[in-house]
Structure 1
Amino acid sequence: MTDSCFIKTAILITDYHPTGTVGFILNKPINMKLNDLVMNFPEFDAEVYFGGPVLTDTIHFLHNLGDLLENSRLVAKGVYWGGNFERLKFLIKSGLVASNQIRFYVGYSGWSPGQLEEEIESASWVISHNDPNYVFKSPSEQLWKKVMMDKGEIYSILSELPDNINFN
């Protein structure tokens, strides 16, 4: 894979269909808060992440609020995607949501039909199980390494490689 925005990324796949695949990069925070990006959004101390290079003018969010936030969709054990944005703002203003319960993303990662499968077949990606802690509790700068270490064996060795092995 030659796209540098995906180097050492941990991505959660949230939508997998014959028409394409959607996911979010979990470990690339940007130095902004959501109220810097969205007008009339309440002051809230939650990091915003680069979700991927597709539609970077859109905001998405993953959370563990479940039914507290209607219209959200369960995408992995303990992880929900989206929901009623106005309700979310109300819950935040009311102090019912903590910053460690939600992650915001600018843009998303997307694959056309068959593209992700081809990339997996060519060993561009390593498949891992999802742990809700990867989304909400793991420090983002260590997440890729943690996922690789959790996978064990050869992957833990790969996690120690520098970004460019030619400089080693």
Structure 2
Amino acid sequence: MDRVRKGNILIAEPSMIGDVIFSRSVVFLTDHGIEGTVGFVLNKPSEFYLDAFFDVIPDNFRIYHGGPVQQDSLYFIHSRPDIIEHSFHIGNGIYWGGNFKQIIEQINLGNLKTNEIKFFLGYSGWAEGQLEAELDMNAWVISDDIVPSQLFLSGSASLWRERIKTLGDEYLLWINTPEKSTIKLIVNVIFCFSTN
């Protein structure tokens, strides 16, 4: 049985400190099949908001870094198929894509809120077998119990830490693993003392 399926959450292990995009990331998988896997990083906010590119009245729809592939393209997941046509159902009330013109209209009408949709520049993609190989190398842990409200959290910088806590006691050590910047500082301090 395939251990990966759409709707899964990938939680990056702390060992991915050398990877700027995926370090401490939480990725929501929107597609998985014989041609590969597609997903979006949920917890890497960009400095951009939707109103910087499109004619929308609210200015609080943040855009996230979805991954390293096609970073000049905009993607979105949402929970409102009732007002956004042509969406693909991922599972658990979450949908991918749809009629973008309707999205802009519904935002401006006040019918679509930030806790119902999330925008991404770029996506995360794996060729056939690539993600499975990364799982074998313990680069990721799979989780499948995320709820829609967690996907659309506006301040999701702490999402990685929150998801680690749901994995069980054996993973709690990860939370205290230093980030790359901290490790670099420690190495520099050690180097300074060793040369004196």
- TM-score by length of structure 2 reads 0.79
After TM superposition, the structure 1 = structure 2 runs for residues 75-154 of structure 1, keeping only pairs within 5 Å, are: 75-129=90-144, 130-137=146-153, 139-154=155-170
Maintained 8 Å contact 2:51/2:61: no
Q: CA–CA distance in 1 between the matches of 2:19 and 2:176?
A: 21
Query: Which of the residues 157, 173, 180 maps onto 1:157?
Result: 173
**1:28 equivalenced with 2:44 (yes/no):** yes
Q: Which one has the largest radius of gyration?
A: 2
Deviations 1:113-148 (CA, angstroms, capped at 9, x unpaired):
100000001100011123223211373110000001
- SS of residue paired to 1:56: strand
* Pair 1:50–1:132, CA change in 2 (3 A): same
Aligned amino acid, residue 8 of structure 1: R
Which runs of 4 or more aligned residues in structure 1 lie more than 6 Å from their structure 2 counterparts after TM superposition? none
Q: CA–CA distance in 1 between the matches of 2:168 and 2:113?
A: 32
In structure 2, the gaps of 5 or more residues are: 1-15, 188-196
* Pair 1:76–1:139, CA change in 2 (3 A): farther
**1:42 equivalenced with 2:50 (yes/no):** no
May I ask how many residue pairs the two structures share in their alignment? 166
- TM-score by length of structure 1 reads 0.91
Q: CA–CA distance in 2 between the matches of 1:74 and 1:66?
A: 9
Maintained 8 Å contact 2:115/2:154: no
Q: CA–CA distance in 1 between the matches of 2:46 and 2:36?
A: 26
- SS of residue paired to 1:86: helix
Q: CA–CA distance in 2 between the matches of 1:152 and 1:100?
A: 27
Maintained 8 Å contact 1:150/1:156: no
Q: CA–CA distance in 2 between the matches of 1:119 and 1:41?
A: 40
Deviations 1:68-89 (CA, angstroms, capped at 9, x unpaired):
2111112131211111001111
Maintained 8 Å contact 2:164/2:171: yes
Aligned amino acid, residue 43 of structure 1: I
